[in-house]
């Protein structure tokens, strides 16, 4: 089994893949959840030690009767939180007996990065780009709804061209609640009307349809700059909310980042 971990600023997603070495032709180019046995989402906590991370992971593995010693062949990590990255390195060395594959400068991805400074590109953005090109070819645009909403553009040749970064839905709402005393938190669901007939419905309309409009506008501008039509893939925690309402998103892959980590792990063996 392969353990992949995507550490975001708000949440951490853990995936467990069956590597199936005798079935390599099915790895990739199908769906991001091909051979994904299970997945778990936990709050990111930079205070956890390597041993505490191991305890959390082992509890999840225990759901399937798996253990570190007998079933885990490797670990691949992308992380936006340096302290968690260090803790996972130590966890892998102590409990797996081998170093983790960390998505960082120097790792093999097969993806030429045309950023002015390639080291600035977030590890999760690289994993998303690797997975999207593997699944759909190029050109392709990835929209990742995480703590930040990010856009990635990948060329027809599989080159990472760059993208855009925008405050995510949750942190935008946090800012609104902090500054507007009369407004309270609302459930993020599609409202009955675009023209809200209550404060709650008005906020839901603004968030859901406003972000959908932002995504569609950005994707259109990116495609104009690419000068060709591109597949558009959504992923991330809130992607399931926006994708059905978008006129530009063509594919929804909730586990895109995990698939990218699996591919990067295989490229580094």
Encode pLDDT of 223-242 as tens digits: 999 998 999 999 998 899 99
Q: What is the pTM of this model?
A: 0.90
- Alpha helices of the chain — where are they, by DSSP H? 50-62, 68-71, 82-91, 123-136, 169-179, 199-226, 239-242, 256-267
Cα-based distances in Å from 255 to 84, 153, 169 = 21, 18, 19
pLDDT of residue 30: 62
The alpha carbons of the chain give a radius of gyration, in whole angstroms, of 19
Q: Is 6 annotated in the active site?
A: no
Give the span between the Cα atoms of 184 and 78, in whole angstroms.
34
pLDDT of residue 179: 81
Q: What is the residue whose two structure tokens read 């790895």?
A: 27
How many residues would you count in the chain?
Answer: 269
Q: Which domains does the chain have, with CATH numbers?
A: 2-106 (3.30.420.40), 118-254 (3.30.420.40)
pLDDT of residue 92: 93
| 3-state DSSP percent of the chain in helix, strand and coil, to 5 | 40, 20, 35
User: Which residues of the chain have a pLDDT value below 50?
Assistant: 21, 25-29
The pair of three-digit structure tokens given for residue 103, joined into one six-digit string: 């998505």
User: Do residues 20 and 101 lie in contact, with contact meaning Cβ atoms separated by under 8 Å?
Assistant: no
Q: What is the residue-wise DSSP string for 162-199?
A: EEEEEE-HHHHHHHHHHH-TT---------S-SS-SSH
pLDDT of residue 25: 47
Set 124, 128, 134, 231: catalytic member = 124
Among 108, 72, 109, which residue's Cα sits nearest to residue 92? 72
């Amino acid at each position: 089994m392969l353990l992949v971990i995507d550490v975001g600023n708000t949440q951490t997603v853990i995936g467990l893949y069956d590597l199936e070495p005798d079935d390599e032709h099915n790895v990739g180019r199908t769906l991001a959840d091909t051979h994904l046995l299970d997945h778990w989402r936990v709050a990111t906590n930079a205070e956890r030690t390597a041993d505490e991370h191991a305890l959390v992971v082992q509890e999840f593995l225990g759901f399937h009767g798996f253990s570190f010693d007998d079933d885990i062949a490797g670990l691949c990590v992308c992380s936006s939180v340096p302290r968690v990255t260090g803790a996972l390195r130590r966890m892998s060395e102590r409990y797996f007996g081998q170093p983790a594959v960390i998505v960082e400068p120097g790792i093999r991805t097969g993806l030429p990065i045309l950023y002015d400074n390639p080291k600035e590109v977030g590890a999760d953005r690289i994993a998303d780009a690797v997975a999207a090109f593997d699944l759909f070819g190029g050109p392709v645009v990835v929209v990742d709804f995480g703590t930040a909403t990010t856009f990635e553009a990948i060329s027809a040749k599989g080159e990472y061209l760059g993208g855009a970064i925008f405050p995510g839905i949750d942190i935008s709402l946090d800012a609104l609640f902090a500054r507007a005393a009369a407004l309270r938190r609302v459930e993020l669901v599609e409202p009955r009307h675009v023209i809200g007939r209550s404060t709650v419905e008005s906020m839901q309309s603004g968030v859901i349809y406003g972000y959908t409009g932002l995504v569609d506008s950005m994707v259109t501008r990116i495609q104009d700059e690419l000068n060709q039509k591109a597949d558009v893939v959504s992923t991330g925690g809130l992607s399931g909310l926006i994708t059905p309402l978008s006129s530009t998103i063509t594919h929804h892959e909730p586990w895109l980042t995990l698939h990218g980590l699996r591919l990067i792990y295989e490229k580094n063996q």
